[in-house]
Amino acid sequence: MLAARSRLPDLAAVTRVDEVGVAERVARFTSRSIKKESKVEALKMVLSMIDLTTLEGQDTPGKVRQLCQKAMHLHDRRPGLPHVAAVCVYPTLVAVAKRALGDSGIKVASVATAFPSGMAPRRVKIEETKIAVGEGADEIDMVISRGAFLAGDYAAVFDEIAAIKEAAQGAHLKVILETGELGSLDRVRRASVLAMHAGADFIKTSTGKVQPAATLPVTLVMLQAIRDYHAETGRMVGMKPAGGIANAKLAIHYLVMLKETLGNAWMTPDRFRFGASSLANDVLMQIEKQLTGRYQSADYFSRD
Amino acid sequence: MDRPARASALAFEGGWTYSPAPESTEHVRIDERYGLFIGGEFVRPAEGRYFPTLNPATEEPIAEVALATDPDVDRAVRAARAAFEGPWSRMKPIERGKYVYRLARLIQERSRELAVIESLDGGKPIRESRDIDIPLAAAHFFYYAGWADKLEYAFPGRRAAPLGVAGQVIPWNFPLLMLAWKIAPALACGNTVVLKPAETTPLTALKFAEAVQDAGLPPGVVNIVTGAGETGAALVNHPGVDKVAFTGSTEVGKIIQRSLAGTGKRYTLELGGKAANVVFADAAIDQAVEGIVNGIFFNQGHVCCAGSRLLVQESVAEEVIDKLKARMETLIVGDPLDKNTDIGAINSQAQLEKIRSYLEIGLAEGAEMHQSSCPVPERGWWCRPTLFTGVSQSNRIVQEEIFGPVLAIQTFRTEEEGLAKANNTPYGLSGGVWTDKGAKVFRMTRGIRAGVVWANTFNKFDPTAPFGGYKESGMGREGGLHGLDAYLDLDA
């Protein structure tokens, strides 16, 4: 089945993107007014879609265990809240996270392929992917070789994604385009098409290490690429904006955009994720505000 | 090739839905009954008759307004004449400009109230009245206020003098905005005005009259008379009027033009349209789809420059139509005061009946009709976003202005064919072109015979840009430098 679609598509035939038009459409999403029950429902949905992330050189097993605890128990004082979708770490900490999360149902995502730059030989990237999966990663967040993509060597990028997909041995593959380095929405759209045809289960905006990270316009272009790919092949690819989504209001804008672009079938953690480290607490604060009518001090929410 | 269903298979209904988000109406003050605004005061109409203005979303009356008859119109024109010959035409232009600025600021200050009233009275979504109508109305006053003392620079080497009393008749689709288009340039150029708002949407004009009082304008510079077609005819035909400015249907425009023949009155007419929105295969398709939606569903399609004919290049026609249908499913039709409403109420029962008759005509002509599946409220006047495929140039729904959320879709193969179809209409108010190729943009925009042609966008308005029609879409221009010309007598 995969073989049938593993052909490099003609990227020159991919529809063009008009940045002014994209900005106008985004402005319509951000002017939606989400209040009352629909807001509480959205906030809970956001929590369930978070990939709680720590990707620092100074990460320790202790910090990862702490994060896993948070992932499972976001705010136990308020019953009925969901847990996050996944915890996202470096390959060396996958085993720690896997053990800490146990049978909670929370996935372990590992970045791989010389994250964040992707500047390593392909065999190293393949090996790294295999190690992460071997340690128990359920999901692999890979980066594309932006250098090759920008140079127009689409076949190399395509083959590499396909190779990592194979090395991931069934683990969910999220392909990071690092849109902040692509330079135009036209390229974002083409990179999305390329990644999906090469086998991506999710496409993801950013590593979080490059500015700008996720933006609403970039995410809209990727969602539209997902929609058209689905229309063409019937396969539903997921979307993960990552980096820069720090507050609940912005996260709700993303949900509005998701709902009005891809519809209900994508409104689930299986098809949409937020890559974020500080989003969860703001969402929790807003939930408390909605339910109690008052803002609570930030000290009532654990910082991990 | 067997292909899975396209984007139209996406599920938008149900799931997470938006809770009602009604705009507050607490800050809004509407009187039970309004008189005529003549000579700086609200006065009783001569015959003492009043008529209700209805909320099209509920069919409930909002307020009563006076019915102006011949003696009232005469009184208003006399008041305007007295003000013209008295203070207004003698005032230093810089002082006149200050008054116009003051009106601009008052519109801004009262924008929340005006936006709510515009939506209550006319049925348009609050998002549009709040973000488009009212800010643009203020912008027109600001823009023309700036010209008041600079007319000699607008027309170098020529002496510019005001015309006198302007009789102005405006439609119900953009009540306050059309008022601004008419009154701002007229006042800036030193004219006085008698304005008749449409009978279904008089309220923001009457609120504007209050602002005129608060701004301290000399009495009689601005007069507002309310009523229906007969009142408008009395105003247009009044011998004391020096200039007629009309926005409305081509049918009425022709009657006015006939009645003005030989009177020596100056006039500008901004009439109907049946604009072509031309989408080429190399366009940014997703943004073009958005532009098509804005072109025809903006303000329920009650837009004279609406892109009511879609001409799409055949190789992308299927994709565009599928995406359009999917996008239509996400349009929210309902309470105009809800901040999430995309399409509000049809302005009047008469207009709804007219739109429905065209839907029947389209079906009887053998066209295929598609409507979005959204629910609409039980009371009030509503029309779901609608498109017709399988139509040709000879279909009435392609030729005639429907003035509702109804799009007629045709395909074309070559650029020449697209252009020929775009121009094959008695109208020529606006047009749109969607392509990634710059050269094609220039060829098409030069080729389309219409007053405004947009490229890779649609329905964009700005006070600095002239607006007006070719052919049966009218004569004269409003907005920009050209808009001054319409209110001035220019000596060589």
Number of inter-chain CB pairs under 8 A, A vs B: 93
Closest-CA distance, B282 to chain A, in angstroms, reads 7
A141 is catalytic: yes
pLDDT tens by residue, A48-77: 999 999 999 999 999 999 999 999 999 999
Taking contacts as CB-CB distances below 8 angstroms, the residues of chain A near B283 are: 16
Q: Which residue has the tokens 């209001």?
A: A249
Test the B interface: residue of A264, A266, A267, A290 with most B CBs within 10 Å: A264
The mean pLDDT value for A200-222 works out to 97
The reply to whether residue A32 touches residue B18, judged by beta carbons under 8 angstroms, is yes
Output the pLDDT for position B8: 46
Superfamily (CATH H level) for B33-271+470-491: Aldehyde Dehydrogenase; Chain A, domain 1 (3.40.605.10)
**Does residue B438 sit at the A interface (CB-CB below 8 Å)?**
no
What are the pLDDT digits (tens) for B50-82?
999 999 999 999 999 999 999 999 999 999 999
Interface residue B331 vs chain A (CB under 8 A): no
Contact yes or no for B339 and A16 at CB 8 A: no
CB B400 within 8 A of CB B302: no
Q: Which of residues 101-130 of B touch A (CB under 8 A)?
A: 127
Contact B19 A36 (CB under 8 A): yes
Nearest Cα of chain B lies from the Cα of A186 at a distance, in angstroms, of 10
How large is the greatest C-alpha to C-alpha distance in chain A, in angstroms?
A: 55
d(CA B447, CA B463): 25
Q: How confident is the model at residue A7 (pLDDT cuts 50, 70, 90)?
A: confident
Contact indicator for B23, B116 with CB cutoff of 8 Å: yes
Check CB contact under 8 Å for B16 and A227. Answer: no
Q: Rounded to whole angstroms, how far apart are CA atoms A14 and A17? A: 9
Q: Is B282 near chain A, with CB under 8 Å?
A: yes
Q: Give the contacts of B282 (CB within 8 A, at least 6 positions apart).
A: A16, B435, B436, B437, B440
Q: Choose among B9, B282, B291: nearest Cβ to A21.
A: B291
CA atoms of B335 and B333, how far apart (whole Å): 7
Percent of chain A surpassing pLDDT 90 = 96
Is it true that domain A21-288 has CATH number 3.20.20.70? yes
The beta strands (E) that lie in B274-327 are given as 276-279, 309-313
Query: Which among B286, B322, B457 is the nearest to A224, CB-wise?
Result: B286
**Residue B21 and residue A33: Cβ atoms within 8 Å?**
yes
Q: What is the rounded average pLDDT for all residues in chain A? A: 96
- Which residues from chain A sit within 8 angstroms of residue B373, using beta carbons? none
Contact A231 B17 (CB under 8 A): no
Question: CA-CA distances (angstroms) from residue B161 to B155, B246, B478?
Answer: 11, 21, 18
Q: What is the pLDDT of residue A118?
A: 96
Tokens representing B320 are 């565009």
Contact A228 B456 (CB under 8 A): no
DSSP letters spanning B223-257: EE---SHHHHHHHHH-TT-SEEEEES-HHHHHHHH
Contact assessment for residue B377 and residue B57, using Cβ atoms and an 8 Å cutoff:
yes
Paired tokens of A42:
């959205």
Write down the catalytic residue from B23, B199, B270, B472: B270
The whole-number pLDDT of residue B4 equals: 43
Closest residue, chain B, to A223 (C-alpha): B286
Q: Are A262 and B339 an interchain contact pair (Cβ–Cβ within 8 Å)? A: no
Q: Does A17 touch chain B (CB under 8 A)?
A: yes
Smallest CA–CA distance from A257 into chain B, residue: B330
Query: The tokens of B171 are what?
Result: 């439609």
- Give dist(CA B468, CA B205) in Å, integer: 22
Pick the CATH number of B273-455 from 1.20.58.100, 3.40.309.10, 3.20.20.80, 3.20.20.70: 3.40.309.10
d(CA A100, CA A110): 15
Q: Is the pLDDT of residue A144 over 70?
A: yes
Q: Any CB–CB contact under 8 A between A27 and chain B?
A: no
Nearest to A231 among B4, B282, B339 (CB): B4
- Select from A37, A224, A265 the Cβ nearest to the Cβ of B19: A37
Would you place residue A6 in the very low, low, confident or very high pLDDT band (cuts 50, 70, 90)? low
Strand partners, B197: none
Going from N- to C-terminal start, the domains of chain B cover 33-271+470-491, 273-455
Tokens of B62: 């909002």
The model carries a pTM of: 0.96
Is A63 in the active site?
Answer: no
Q: Do A38 and B19 touch (CB under 8 A)?
A: yes
- For residues B331-370, one letter each, b for 16 or more C-beta atoms within 10 angstroms of the residue's C-beta and e for the rest, the string is bbbbbbbbbbbbbbbbbbeebbeebeebbeebeebebeeb
In order along its 492 residues, chain B shows pLDDT tens digits of: 344 445 447 999 889 999 999 999 999 999 999 999 999 999 999 999 999 999 999 999 999 999 999 999 999 999 999 999 999 999 999 999 999 999 999 999 999 999 999 999 999 999 999 999 999 999 999 999 999 999 999 999 999 999 999 999 999 999 999 999 999 999 999 999 999 999 999 999 999 999 999 999 999 999 999 999 999 999 999 999 999 999 999 999 999 999 999 999 999 999 999 999 999 999 999 999 999 999 999 999 999 999 999 999 999 999 999 999 999 999 999 999 999 999 999 999 999 999 999 999 999 999 999 999 999 999 999 999 999 999 999 999 999 999 999 999 999 999 999 999 999 999 999 999 999 999 999 999 999 999 999 999 999 999 999 999 999 999 999 999 999 999 999 986
Q: Distances from the Cα of A298 to the Cαs of A100, A283, A285, A295, A302, in angstroms?
A: 26, 12, 8, 9, 8
User: From the candidates A51, A141, A201, A282, which is the catalytic residue?
Assistant: A141
Closest residue by Cα to residue A230 from A261, A269, A253 = A261
Q: Does B18 touch chain A if contact means CB atoms closer than 8 Å? A: yes
Would you list the domain boundaries of chain A?
21-288
A39 SS3 class: helix
Q: Which of B6, B16, B291 minimises the CB distance to A259?
A: B16
The Cα of B113 is separated from the nearest Cα of chain A by a number of Å equal to 19
Residues in B closer than 8 angstroms to A230, CB to CB, are 7
pLDDT in tens, B459-475: 999 999 999 999 999 99
> Choosing among B17, B277, B287, which should be mutated to test the A contact, i.e. which has the most A CBs within 10 A?
B287
* Contact list, A264 vs chain B (CB under 8 Å): 11-16
Residues of B in contact with A36 (CB under 8 A): 19
pLDDT band at A4 (very low <50, low <70, confident <90, very high): very low
Q: Is B441 part of the contact surface with chain A (CB cutoff 8 Å)?
A: no
Whether the CB of B414 is below 8 Å from some CB of chain A: the reply is no
Task: Determine the residue of chain B that is closest to A262 in CA distance.
Answer: B10
Contact with chain B for residue A35, Cβ under 8 A: yes
The nearest CA of chain B is from the CA of A36 a distance in Å of: 7
Mutation target among A5, A25, A37, A266 for the B interface, most CBs of B within 10 A: A25
pLDDT recorded at residue A2: 47
CA–CA distance from A138 to each of A46, B243, B270 (Å)?
A: 21, 76, 64
Residues B87 and B107: beta-carbon distance below 8 Å: no
Nearest-Cα residue of chain A relative to residue B284? A16
pLDDT for the residue A166: 97
A245 touches A272 (CB < 8 A): no
Of B17, B282, B340, the CB nearest to A33: B340
